[in-house]
Structure 1
Amino acid sequence: MEERQPLTVKALTKYIKLKFDYDKNLQHLLLKGELSNVKRHSRGHLYFTLKDDEAQINAVMFASAASHLTFVPAEGMQVVVKGHITVYEAGGSYSMYVKEMTEDGVGNLYVAFTQMKERLGAEGLFDARFKQPIPTYPQAVGVITSPTGAAIRDILSTIKRRFPLVKVYVYPALVQGEQAEASIVSCIKQANEMKLVDTLIVGRGGGSIEDLWAFNKEGVARAIFESKIPIISAVGHETDFTIADFVADHRAPTPTGAAEMAVPNLPDVLKHFNQLNVRLNHNFNVQFEQKKNQLAQLSNHYIMKNPHALFEQRLMHVNQLNDKLQFVLQDQLTKRKAQFATDYHRLIQFNPMVKVDSSKQHVAFLTQQLKALMSEHLSEHKQNYHVLLTKLEMLNPLSILKKGYSVITDENEEMITTVQSMRVGQIISVALDDGTVKASIKEIQPSESN
């Protein structure tokens, strides 16, 4: 069996590069995608990642081509690029070398970021009135980030260098991927429940917009807003902005900057304390000299030489006040007595018993008059009653019956006054003084005058 000679890495990479270079399909490409991780070199070269929902490719646009761009490429832009694919031999990676680039709208992630920012901003999550101050001299600082990333090393080394007196609690969290949102939210809630720290740093190192996307999640934003512990957001680099940066109480451009913001610089603190100590000693000496001079002045005052003079003046003043008080009291007492006498005489005049006796006499007089008037009116009414009764007796038709007269009525109890109104066989009632009889008409004899 023939032994095959192994290739060197360089030879293999060169072979692959030749394959790329001679493939016509890879030499004149039009590629559409979303810009991510855009970086501009100091010489004008443009490095970025072109991606879609399922894949991404590194790309470079050299200064000669980038200088002809009519817009500024930014994170999240949707673009169409023209160029070719080649292999970078030293790194063993392939990239797209872009010659032309045109805008093709805004990328999906950037649209989602903008919509989330507008909605949460309208709810007030970014308002300055909700921002909490960072303690000047914290006793403990909490850090929520990946325990293995560069960010935690930068934060811990910076805190140790600046203020080694502070305690640091690390809350390990996932900062990338589908589980990152729940992990960050859980760490924020845990720190608030444990109440061990004065300040929280939440963040991670730099990366593409996809890498930082966990800090654009609504759950993380609301957890930061609801935190009772002040939070410093430290996500990515200085040019990276996430929703967490807007909601947090303070934003740091980098994790190192967050550590510098969270704790003071110990040499500066000591220097400040020394300055305060000098000022305190100076002010104490000044105050001491002032009080010493005041004491000397008071010691030489004539009152201190003869303190009885001050007592005598005060005693004289007290006597004057006592005399004035006695005069005022006596005057008030005299006025009160006179007023009392006046009120007493008025009370006697308006004694209710006097009014009651007078009212009783008046009532007795009115009673007698009422009785006399009632007797007089009663006699008059009795006399009138007898007169009217006599007239009524005279006018009463029934009183005629006592003289032998009678009253005749028919079956309907209607009075019969003439013979002509009767008929033979008619039943009539004859009312006499002592009763009534029924009779039947047998014969009618009219008066000859009729």
Structure 2
Amino acid sequence: MSTVYSVTRLNNEIKDLLDAVPGYRNLFVQGEISNYKAHSSGHYYLTLKDEGASISAVMFRSDAMRLKFRLENGMKVIVRGRVSSFPRTGQVQLYLNEIVPDGAGALNLAFEQLKSKLHAEGLFNEAYKKPIPACPSHVALITSPTGAAVRDMVRILGRRWPLARVTLYPSLVQGPGAAPSICRALALANAVGEADVILCGRGGGSMEDLWAFNEEAVARAIFESEIPVISAVGHEPDVTIADFVADLRAPTPSGAAELAVPDRAEYRVALRSLELRLHTAGLRHMQTNRRRLDGLAERLAARTPAKYIDEKRLQLDSACERLLGAQAARLDRERQYVRLLGQKLSAAGQRGVQARRLRFSRLVATLDAISPLGVLARGYAIAEGEKGVVVDAAALHAGDRLRVRFAKGVATCSVLDTEKGEA
């Protein structure tokens, strides 16, 4: 049973088939523009047609912004892009990357094909561009020895920077043998290795006249040069493959000479400006130092050794006077202090004697009051047994002998009976 496709599946498979064809991914198509429309989004929509057919095309905004001319209906062009389809409508169309006017026919197509190839290989990448020296001491020219371009370049180089030595490497710049001749001159200049920069080019002419600089061999020779190369081909509107590969593009051979070396007149002006600035800065510095010197001289005059000694002598005299005054005042204070201290000690001594006498009297009275003799004098007696002073009648028994001490005299007694009593 045959497969039944949905419209979406069919359109998607048609797109996949077109995208899978290698030749459809990057191809050149020649035709005439019609139905051109610039959309508000920035995309360009158009139809490319010839006598027998037409095909829709679209150029997206990112590519359309790089166009150097305005598209118009009826314009004959060569476009580069890919063939694919739009699945929503199933329409087969071209997706364009570049559009160039079809003025030179096969040469223009060859130019675009080689440009696309070398660009894909990275020969135009800015990362490979070598810097041009600011003040080269040796400049190499690769051009025709009989053309007007070499005379213009030599004249301008000599006028702008006569310090640079110029070496001409003669080369054909037009005709079948021009491309190999340019490649040999580039190889020789690199083999000699004396030049700081190479100027490679010729004067203006038709696309056919300039075609040697659109050859792949010349482009690769410029790219492989270890010495920086400035392309100087034709007039300003002329663009060659060599311009894209070179480290720097000049609009004309004369422009290349101006880009290769600095202008000594500008250096002279810059040096004069620097000289003036240096003179002004030196003068300002000298004036500043003079003002500082004058100020130091004034300060030194105000601080001579004699004046310094006089000032210190006055300070010493003043200090001596203050010291003597302070010493006399201190002696007076010490005398007063000693006098007051003596008075305080005398008063304190008298008070101490009286206090000690009073205390002694109190101690004597207290001692007299607690003296056993004093107690005995008031009629009390002390009974002593075999074991000492008797203070408790319970410790005695009938018949025990006691010695009774009175205030005056002692009596020996015998215990007849005892009575218990409370303390």
Give the TM bin, normalised by the shorter chain: 0.3 to 0.5
User: When the two structures are superposed, what TM-score results if normalisation uses the length of structure 2?
Assistant: 0.45
Query: TM-score, normalised on structure 1?
Result: 0.42
